[in-house]
A and B are shown apart, each in its own frame.
Chain A
């Protein structure tokens, strides 16, 4: 009997140790939550009227599910308090499968590689500035995400690295006088989650890192569709053609004692012309006829004295940005604006920073603005990636 009990005990202990070992053995399937968030204070004076407020911040969780070494699902949500309201955004949700060394397929809602800003640089802990450059985000002219399928990859060519992406998505819709914001008639609506006209958009980007140290990248992106309006509407067969050029240079330069980071992107958008009839006041109509062409540009440079012997100085970063947005003259969303921003960042860790920033945007027009526009803003943001 004692032998039996001893055998059972040894068996249980052995099973327990084995089970314990299994608990610590990593599985092929992994689930992670990562993401980023920010909070801060903003004081913005627009045409002489000042609004100051603590910024409730944002929380952007990213869920990663690695099914195997080739198959992965990623999704990002965005929770943001804006003007006292909680806005919830659905940034992307896509499945990715590595086909071979040179090709990966993605399907779902994904960030579009139209240039690099929206796909790579917009998260608050990555973006050196507290705001996006002109031309991006709400009322921007560059697409941020789309629903569809994409093939992407990278390969070596000599001592260069070439990366590429080609995709097909539902494409943009067109804001019309019958829409929610008639004043924006003629703008593309990139938040078009269903295909409104049985015509997909096609696009792609090719990037080249010409030097072996990956310090420099130049890219060219296109995005095109031959229908943007709703099926059956007079806008159905309007075409839209967009392209972007992007540049990046990041390198530690010992003779200057630190790291330089230069980023730049030019966006161009052309939509076929048509007359938009807007109801200015009840019963009073106005025809808006304009050349529907827009462009935007930004250039940003930052310097971090990463080779300084002083720990505090090493964590500082000086940054400045210029951006410009020009939308069609004669349209309801006509704007011609320039932005100059200067900032000082302090890196608490590799993924958390405090940004102190001054920003001036001046020009004419813009959303809900008639005539001149002058805005001065002071921002203090604290961002963290996790």
Chain B
């Protein structure tokens, strides 16, 4: 990889009056455009590490580089204006409107009013909030999720290269958190910011990170690598314990349905005759077929047995298909659907709901056995 955008070199932070350092001799590189997640048990110094980067905490020794330039001794406020900063409690200014909050850094940088106003509207739209209805409101009128959207918008205001995020979605309810994470990942695809993201939640780390640094006490790096590699090859017992049981299952969130080979289960399009159906079923290795409606949307699972058992019309035999998957869904979703399905498979459809194929437990298992590391390393 190229030269790191951010480099911490032998950075140590020891608080006065304590002997053990909060961060001990840490060297860490963050590359342009990546999301590096710092994850570890509470008290491991991950937040301290983050705050050393924008020097909200001054290092006791060591150097900090940004774009290859030593920024350890430059004016801290100037440095911070180049980095977006998002924290768990959001920290919006309650006495200022949403627009004024977002305008904070542009105002510090002396942008003119028109430019600031345009930028505020642009950012509100970026975080899916209607500028007209939110611009002039105050933070107390926002829900937790909305407040953090504004927090992110505020951090992005002056278009910094770097975003520092300290458990940004930690105080938000699970459903909203999931939505915000997804939105944020989509945003990041376009923005390509260099992001250092702190969390204590390994699942969030796996989901958000291009690379993960698992930290133990005093911010010592236990392992730093892609999520795929860490999951398939934990460096030591500490990492293994931290990943917890079910590392394989966690890995399923990293892969999408489109990453696996779809099983070719024959499809029967309505209207279809019984004899014709039986012929198709006989040739199907699984002795199963998917019944489709006129628009190619899957309706039911049809098997030989179910056809022979009743004299019901074909569109009433077999089991109905209630849930389907799209190529964008994660394998974890797929596993859930498969386990619920009566035939151990899940139907995959495209955006318009048209049948594409099926995925089975076997195809999942072969992917897992094949190893994430081999297939997934970035």
Answer whether A and B are interacting partners. no
- Write the residues of chain B forming the contact surface with A, with a CB cutoff of 8 angstroms: none
